[in-house]
Amino acid sequence: MPAPLPISLDSPAVSQETVTWLRGQSLADFHALPEGTLAQFFDGEVLVSPAPLFLHQRVVARLHVALSRFVEEHGLGEVLVSPST
């Protein structure tokens, strides 16, 4: 089992970034955003989320491994990392 990750809310590795709101946007503006932009359209406003930090990705990977092992050992199905289609 991997060692626990040193996670602290005071750590510089934990993002304190917030989302960015682009107000007065059209749906066409939203569709014109570069491919892969983490954004959502809400009533004329575009919500742009910051990209996940390395620590976040590392935690997701470890959770996926642990959950996949458990699910496979117990014949419960399959664990997928989002997004999936």
Considering the entire predicted model, what is its pTM? 0.51
The rounded radius of gyration (Å) of the Cα atoms in the chain is 18
Residues 6 or more apart in contact with residue 41 via CB below 8 angstroms: 25, 27, 30, 47
∠62-64-68 over CA atoms, to 5°? 125
The tens digit of pLDDT for each residue in 54-76 reads 888 899 999 999 999 999 999 99
Q: Which residue has the tokens 């040193």?
A: 6
* Segment 21-42, tens digit of pLDDT: 778 888 888 888 888 888 888 8
What's the N-to-C CA distance of the chain in angstroms? Answer: 30
